[in-house]
Structure 1
Amino acid sequence: MKKKYIAFAITILFSAGIYFLFFHKDKDLKYVPENADMLILIDVKKATNQYISSVLKHPSKWFEDKANDKKSISISDSGLKIPDFVQIFHLKNTKISEWYCVFEINDQTKFSAFLKNRKFINAGNGKFNNNQLFIKIEGEKCIIGTSDLHFNNIGKPLAQTFRNKVLNADSFVSDGLGSISFISELRTQNFSIDLKDDEIEIKNEQNTTDFSSLISDLLKKTEFLEAELNEDNVKKIAAVFNKNLNDSLSVNSLKMNAEITKVNDTIISYGYDDNFNEIEKISYQKIVQPSYHILLQTSDSEKTWNYFQNKKWINEQNQFTAIPFQPNLISKNGKEISIKSKMNNLKLNENRNQNYIFIKNNPLLYSSFKTLSDSDKKFLNSLEYIFYGNKNLDCNVKIKFKKDQYPLILR
């Protein structure tokens, strides 16, 4: 009888241990600042469980050579306390590329070894960087960011109550591996993040729209970029990039497509012959250049044109300078404003009467960037397409990767 009680007690303790190790979560969000306007939450335990499940389904992963991994100190052994929900935030009125996260430091010695192992350079005053991430140490905490410009502008944590609820993960995350939320004084919009075998999907709660047919049609096209947006979506996309487009723009819709090609670029230099006479030397090189066509439907093209001129986006050659890829030509005809790259034979596709942005991977897109690391190129090469779709209240973003031996979480 005693053996049964002992076995029962061991079973209870084992089950409780499994629960607290893999499923129990501290949902308090301590480090979301009051001046955050976007928040990404990652459910660490759910990600861990998904990783373990994927490893068990792929036995070949067990026997891979880990020699290189042994040289690198893992995050779990970095001296940082990893919360059950990693809180990554974006600050108001900053670039879309600037994101921050706060961690507690459990072991300063381990953390110093981790920084050295990951080739972080000591910039003084508790600041470190490795050209990709920036770190600032403040006592027992550290701030990690993609920029160091706003370390001192991170506000105090939000109050303990948030719209009459305790500020915790349940206010933002539903069933996904994580969430991305847009925070404003009026309301908070939450979108779930799901990590699948070859795809990351971001969508709003109770999304019922299926964009698979549209994506299938777009994949058959040759263009690397195609977009069609109504007025509301033009403003939404602009707001994400921290651009406030007021009603003076008067844009009712936007259509765009783009292709990438290699073209000959003429290089003119000067030298001297044997008699010290100046001579002109002409050489050629292949450069990557986008070919694009943007069509804006407006309620008042003159008003929109004046808006562009007041912003100094139109020069004396009627080039639209807000687009960095030159040369191009901007023109207006009736209620339409057209922006086309020169020597452009692209024709806009038929109206689909849908709101979407579709970017298909093209090796030329990143082959000319000399600053990309091998890991950056490997990542970009693994992408298949990025899709944004919106219909009524449904919003959907898909980041599709090429098929691989392993699911994304194991790559």
Structure 2
Amino acid sequence: MNKKKIIVPLFLLLAVAVYFIAFHKDKSLQYIPDSADAVVLIDTKKLTGQYLFSLVTHPSKWSGRKAKSKSSGSLKDSGIRIPDFLQIFHIKGTKFTEWYSVLELKDSQKFITYLKKQNFVAKGNNLFQKDQFFFMINGNHCIAGTSDLAFETLQKRLLQNSVHHVWEADRFIQNTVGSISFISGQKIRNFSIELKEDEIEINNNSNPEILNMIASKAEKGNHFLELELDKENIRNFTRFFKKSIADSSQITSLKAAADLRQINDTIVTYEYDDNFNEVERKTVQKITQPSYMIDILSNDPEKTWQYFQSEKWINNENQFTAIPFQPNKIAQNNKGVTIKSTRNPISLPSRLKQNYIIIRNNALLYSSLKMLSNSEKKIISDIDYVLYGNKAQNYWVKIKAKKGELPLLLRW
């Protein structure tokens, strides 16, 4: 038999198999409710492709990979059917911290076993919880979330009711590893998520030169936190707290900087000796507190001051109590209001007349977060800075990691 007649069909079959395994994607998004106002999509095939490419191009990782404990199990063998697009959504009217996802299961019993190996606690009715994460098994589906408040509603609307809107992935994502989209009626605003060698970028503009200019200026500072926001950005951020601060207070812009410092805090307690005499005990512990300076510009400084007073944010000692880190002092001037910590005061850098927030890494930050696991602390310690920038309708977030021998996908 002619070998060419065998090789050509085999090659075509291989090409078709590779296409369906690596490139063909089911773009029907069946598990996003009509009440969603924000959607995060992860292209799992593209992410897997990036991971494999990183692995192939870094041979040092081939023999250095840590074998996972058999007792903990692996996600690959957990009984989950990995979707082409992982769909994570936020429901309108719920807390900002509440996010949900619906997953298909190949084997629900195997997934329950996996959850138990990951130390999830059974709460009854196929509900499992570990810290702030919840999973509910419903037949061949699983509802996951950072809360369980909407689980019952999602079961009725997505799993029991076959009549609901099925979105198309192309409305949210365009050839990137992920996307974040905000839905308002018929309008959808998409932000791409790009995973690079040592950084993650989220933006809604394919030409980042506008925001690179902001980054080049902001990166030159040295404070733990620096920010500069105009009225529109203040309005956008305070929406998360359901406050109309920018409109009610006449604030036009905000400039702030902060550094972290470790101080000794003395705790006084009282005990009784064997003779029932009161004995004072002093304990000294180290705590992390910020030193900060905030400069608020206002159209009407008097109205700004009155607004803060009406919210009961200024006490009799002229301290701004809306900031929990005390002591501080608030003062009014002819341009606005300033707030500064009285312990280890700092000075503000000059205004850049740009909208940005930059948070630089600091060992005092993640060492004080005792609720984090060692792996989570390692990820945070690997970050160099997080930068937000805005100009007109262009928005950008960059998570910059420290330079390393391996790309982020192989480090994290």
Task: Give the TM-score, by structure 2 length.
Answer: 0.91
Q: For residue 311 of structure 1, report the CA deviation from its aligned partner.
A: 2.9
Q: For residue 43 of structure 1, report the CA deviation from its aligned partner.
A: 0.3
1:26 maps to which residue?
26
* Contact preservation (8 Å) 2:34, 2:164: no
1:354 maps to which residue?
354
Higher mean C-alpha displacement, 337-346 vs 187-196 = 337-346
CA distance in 1, matches of 2:313, 2:150: 29
What secondary structure, in the 3-state scheme, does the structure 2 residue paired with 1:156 have?
A: helix
2:256 maps to which residue?
256
1:47 aligns with 2:47: yes
Q: Label 1:274 to 1:132 Cα distance change in 2 as closer, same or farther (>3 A).
A: closer
Q: Label 1:273 to 1:131 Cα distance change in 2 as closer, same or farther (>3 A).
A: closer
What is the CA deviation profile of residues 243-289 of structure 1, one whole-angstrom value per residue up to 9, with x for unaligned ones? 55462132211111000111222222334568654344444332211
Higher mean C-alpha displacement, 243-252 vs 359-368 = 243-252
1:193 aligns with 2:184: no
What secondary structure, in the 3-state scheme, does the structure 1 residue paired with 2:28 have?
A: coil
Q: For residue 196 of structure 1, report the CA deviation from its aligned partner.
A: 0.7
Q: For residue 242 of structure 1, report the CA deviation from its aligned partner.
A: 5.4
What secondary structure, in the 3-state scheme, does the structure 2 residue paired with 1:221 have?
A: coil
Amino acid at match of 1:16: V
Q: Which structure 2 residues correspond to residues 7-406 of structure 1 after superposition, within 5 A?
A: 7-154=7-154, 156=157, 167-185=167-185, 187-212=187-212, 214-240=214-240, 243-245=243-245, 247-271=247-271, 276-406=276-406
What secondary structure, in the 3-state scheme, does the structure 2 residue paired with 1:67 have?
A: coil
What secondary structure, in the 3-state scheme, does the structure 2 residue paired with 1:288 have?
A: strand
CA distance in 2, matches of 1:9, 1:361: 56
What secondary structure, in the 3-state scheme, does the structure 2 residue paired with 1:40 have?
A: strand
Amino acid at match of 2:24: H
* Contact preservation (8 Å) 1:93, 1:242: no
What is the CA deviation profile of residues 71-124 of structure 1, one whole-angstrom value per residue up to 9, with x for unaligned ones? 432222211222100001112233332211111122122212211221211111
* Contact preservation (8 Å) 1:34, 1:156: no
CA distance in 1, matches of 2:320, 2:186: 35
What secondary structure, in the 3-state scheme, does the structure 1 residue paired with 2:10 have?
A: helix
Q: For residue 384 of structure 1, report the CA deviation from its aligned partner.
A: 0.7
* Contact preservation (8 Å) 2:214, 2:389: no
What is the CA deviation profile of residues 143-178 of structure 1, one whole-angstrom value per residue up to 9, with x for unaligned ones? 11122233235483599897xxx7211001012111
Q: For residue 337 of structure 1, report the CA deviation from its aligned partner.
A: 1.6
Q: Label 1:283 to 1:115 Cα distance change in 2 as closer, same or farther (>3 A).
A: closer
CA distance in 2, matches of 1:239, 1:5: 66
* Contact preservation (8 Å) 1:261, 1:364: yes
What is the CA deviation profile of residues 387-407 of structure 1, one whole-angstrom value per residue up to 9, with x for unaligned ones? 001112221100011122221
Q: Label 1:295 to 1:320 Cα distance change in 2 as closer, same or farther (>3 A).
A: same
Q: For residue 241 of structure 1, report the CA deviation from its aligned partner.
A: 5.5
Q: For residue 327 of structure 1, report the CA deviation from its aligned partner.
A: 2.3
CA distance in 2, matches of 1:322, 1:181: 31
What is the CA deviation profile of residues 173-205 of structure 1, one whole-angstrom value per residue up to 9, with x for unaligned ones? 012111001111262110000001110100103
Amino acid at match of 2:386: I
* Contact preservation (8 Å) 1:209, 1:394: no
Higher mean C-alpha displacement, 321-330 vs 185-194 = 321-330
Q: For residue 214 of structure 1, report the CA deviation from its aligned partner.
A: 4.1
Gaps of 5+ in 2: none
* Contact preservation (8 Å) 2:327, 2:343: no
What is the CA deviation profile of residues 44-84 of structure 1, one whole-angstrom value per residue up to 9, with x for unaligned ones? 11011111111110112221254335443222221122210
CA distance in 1, matches of 2:71, 2:83: 25
Q: Label 1:16 to 1:145 Cα distance change in 2 as closer, same or farther (>3 A).
A: same
Higher mean C-alpha displacement, 325-334 vs 205-214 = 205-214
Task: Give the TM-score, by structure 1 length.
Answer: 0.91
CA distance in 2, matches of 1:402, 1:132: 28
Q: Label 1:125 to 1:274 Cα distance change in 2 as closer, same or farther (>3 A).
A: closer
Q: For residue 372 of structure 1, report the CA deviation from its aligned partner.
A: 2.2
Q: Label 1:161 to 1:244 Cα distance change in 2 as closer, same or farther (>3 A).
A: farther
What secondary structure, in the 3-state scheme, does the structure 2 residue paired with 1:179 have?
A: strand
Higher mean C-alpha displacement, 398-407 vs 49-58 = 398-407
Q: Label 1:28 to 1:251 Cα distance change in 2 as closer, same or farther (>3 A).
A: same
CA distance in 2, matches of 1:118, 1:126: 16
C-alpha RMSD of matched pairs (Å): 2.5
Amino acid at match of 2:157: K
CA distance in 1, matches of 2:401, 2:192: 19
CA distance in 1, matches of 2:406, 2:387: 22
Percent of aligned pairs with the same residue? Answer: 49
* Contact preservation (8 Å) 1:96, 1:242: no
CA distance in 2, matches of 1:21, 1:9: 18
